[in-house]
Each structure stands twice: as C-alpha cells, then as structure tokens.
Amino acid sequence: MIFKTTREGALQDLENYINKDIVNYSTQRNFDFGPSNRKNVSCLSPYITHRLITEYEVAKKVLSKFPYQKVEKYIQEIFWRVYWKGWLELRPQVWTDFTEDLKSIEEDKNYQIAVSGKTEIQCFNDWVNELKENNYLHNHTRMWFASIWIFTLNLPWQKGAEFFMKYLYDGDAASNTLSWRWVAGLQTKGKHYVAQSRNISKFTNNKYKDISLDEDATPLVDRREYKLSSLEINKEDLESKTLIFFESELNIETLNLKDYQNIYCIFLSNEKRKIKFDEKVINFKKKIIEDQANRFSNIEIIDEINFDKLTNEIKDLDVIYPSIGENLSFLKSIKKKKNLNYNFTVREGDEFCWQFSNKGYFNFKSNIPKIIQKIT
C-alpha cells in the first residue's frame, strides 16, 4: 500500500474513491481482501488524522455528488472520528489514565511473542506483520486484532493501543484509545467485542478457518468513573504575531486566519513522546509536514528544543488547537514552566460537532443531518 504525502495527493485519492468505489461501501466495507485490494474502503484515514484533508471536506465533497441516503453509512463512519475526538475532549482524564497506566505495565514474554507475530494464531501473526509493513490495517481487522489481543492472548489493552499508535499512519489519540476501550468492554460498560472464527473466515473470503479463539470471554472491568466535563479551551485575543500548530492539524489554509509574521509547526521528537513512533511513521509525518511548509513561505518546522528557545522571548502564542493527546499534553507541560499564554483556534466544525459527543454515538448520529446542514 502506498499513501501520498501531499495535500494534492490526498485530494486526488478522495476524488478517485468517490468517482469509482464509494457506491459499494455499505455492502463491501466489512470485507478485508488484503492490502493489495482495498477498493472497498477509502483508505483516507492517514490524511484525515493529520488533517491534510478534514472530515468536513470529505463529507462536503461526497455530498456534492451523492444524496445523503445513498452514502449515509460512509458519512456516518467518517464522523466516528469527530465523535471520538469530542468524547475525549469532554473526558480528558481517560487519556491521562491511559498514558499513566502504560508506565506500570511490563512487556513480558507473552507480549514479546505477540508483537513479534509468533503466536499460535496465524491470522493474528499475519496482521502484526501487515501492520509493520504497511502501517495500516482494515478497520474490521483492527477489531479482530484487539479482541484476540485482549481476550485470547490475555494481554493488557493499553499495550495493544500503544502498539497500534506506534505503527499506524492514522494513529489518533481519541479514535485509537477509545476503540480499544470499546472492544474491551470499558467504553460502553459491559458491552465488549469478541472476535469469532466464523466471522473472520467470512469477511476474509475464507482465508482463515477454524481459528482457536476464546469466544466466551467476559468484558473487562475498570472501576474508574469518568464524569462529563466542560470544554476548557482558552480563547483570548493576545494580539500575537506568532502562530504554532502540530502535525495533527496540517490543513491551516481552510481556517480563516489573520496574517502572521511567524508560523511554526512543532514536531515532537520520540524522546519527548510517551508513545514512541516507528521510524516509518516518523518519516511519513515529516514528509506531510514538509508538504505543508512548501505551501507557505513563512512556515518553519521546529522540535521541542527549538520551541523552548523560541519561548524564551515570545510568551503570547496563537495555537491551532491540537485536541487531547501528546501534543496538547506537551503544551500544557511547558505552559507553567515558561509562563506562556495560549489563544486556541478550534475548527468551527469540531466545535459544533463536539456538543453532540456528550452521550453515545447513537445520539451523535441522530444529529448528523444538523451537522451536514452546518458544513455544506
């Protein structure tokens, strides 16, 4: 599989999918035909994760060519990502606890066997190798993988979520963390996802048969409760002449921004991250960041060390809001240390959609017609 590393390439992939394959999405989307045949899904997630193209651009483009009823399932799946982001924004402690949990979990022999693709479950081994080679897995396969990891291999869900974040081009703090929690039975308490041999066989066109799995596993239990909080995104006119953003919000040209003397894209090194990226993921991110810089004459790419130097003099910063995850955690950690002031810019679509993330996805889904009316 080859993913483009430019906005132009991402838009072309979107156009090609709409013109050729989207009409079969609702009936074909659950099949994993292997990495050489992905026409049944759009494979746009690496672009959307980094906002090379946004969910709203995708939805608007699709709906300009098809009535909502014909592409309803695809639009709903696109907005899962927005919903997850909003859900985590309203419950930020979930991300904090997840990253803290990782510190105390040992990578034992069983873990090493799993991440090396040397278990007794052939399909799982193949998916481990596919993930490392292509930095992508089909969504249905991600569910099977997570279920096998948790319920058959009896490994901590947190380490599985970390493993995905390390290798996926489309790894996203909200979508990835909350999807693993959902499979485990923690996101919707008592409701888990158990992979079944016959289901895997059916949706891989009988590539895998008679897989020995624990199909009677019970949901995991976590006594921690996460109460709904209000969005706490600081917005104040600082009259700053400096804008900063991260690789999670690359498409700044679709935002109504003022002119800035200096624009910086911060790309944190692995040393600063709680979850370390695979080298191929780092290189993919570097290339798409460079594409963004090439579209603007005054963007400079910096790491945390140079940002630290920059903020010795500049204290007021306009920031494209990066959402809950590593980048926002970094901003919060350095804010008090350097006595910084942030004025966050949040995408209008995000702010509108996140109000519907206070409950389950069914509630969010019922508001998609309102969202479409807002963005189109």
72: CB partners within 8 A, 6+ apart: 26
Looking at the structure, do residues 78 and 102 belong to the same domain, yes or no? Answer: no
- The pLDDT score that the predictor gives to residue 97 is 98
- In the DSSP assignment, the letter for residue 210 is S
Q: Are 186 and 108 members of one domain?
A: yes
| 339 is a domain residue | yes
Predicted confidence (pLDDT) at residue 152 exceeds the cutoff of 90:
yes
Q: Is the pLDDT of residue 296 over 90?
A: no
Average pLDDT over the chain, rounded to an integer: 95
Give yes or no: residues 29 and 58 share one domain: yes
**Where a domain ends, among 203, 227, 256?**
203
- Percent of the chain residues topping a pLDDT of 70: 100
pLDDT value at position 266? 98
Are 34 and 106 in a shared domain?
A: no
pLDDT score of 90: 97
**Domain range holding 77?**
7-87+354-375
Q: What number is the average pLDDT over the span 101-106? A: 97
Q: What is the pLDDT of residues 201-238, one digit of tens each?
A: 999 999 999 999 999 999 999 999 999 998 878 777 77
Same domain, 75 and 106: no
Asked if residue 337 is part of any domain, the answer here is yes
Rounded CA Rg of the chain: 21
**Coil, helix or strand at residue 44:** coil
- Residue pointed to by tokens 């049944």: 40
Query: pTM, whole model, 2 decimals?
Result: 0.96
Per residue in 314-349, is it b (16+ CB within 10 Å) or e — as a string?
bebbbbbbbbbbbbbbbbeeeeeeeeeebbbbbbeb
What local confidence, expressed as pLDDT, does residue 147 receive? 98
CATH number, position 47: 1.25.40
Task: Clarify whether residues 131 and 77 are in a common domain.
Answer: no
Domain membership of residue 212 (yes or no) is no
337 with 365, same domain: the answer is no
- Asked whether residue 340 is domain-assigned, the answer is yes
Band (258; pLDDT cuts 50, 70, 90) = confident
332 and 365 assigned to the same domain? no
Beta strands across the sheet bearing 242-246: 299-302, 262-266, 242-246, 316-320, 341-345
Does 215 reside within a domain? no
- Tell me if 157 is assigned to some domain: yes
pLDDT for residue 253 is more than 90: no
Q: Residue 13 has what pLDDT?
A: 97
**Does 266 share its domain with 320?**
yes
> Is residue 15 scored above 90 in pLDDT?
yes
| Residue 363 sits in the same domain as residue 272 | no
The domain that contains 123 carries what CATH number? 1.10.579.10
Residue 265's SS3 state is strand
Q: Is the pLDDT of residue 133 over 80?
A: yes
- Least reliable range by pLDDT among 79-93, 155-169, 180-194, 256-270: 256-270
- Confidence (pLDDT) at 376: 80
One domain, residues 74 and 118 = no
Lookup: tokens for 123: 């399909």
Find the CATH number of the domain harbouring 340: 3.40.50.620
Answer whether residue 237 is part of any domain: no
**pLDDT number for residue 252:** 86
Same domain, 78 and 105: no
Question: What is the rounded CA–CA span in Å between residue 246 and residue 322?
Answer: 7
Phi, psi of 320 (to 5 degrees): -70, 115
Residue 218, SS3?
coil
Tally of structural domains, the chain: 3
Identify the band that residue 254 occupies on the pLDDT scale cut at 50, 70 and 90: confident
Instruction: Tell whether 226 is covered by a domain.
Output: no
Last residue of a domain, one of 203, 224, 255: 203
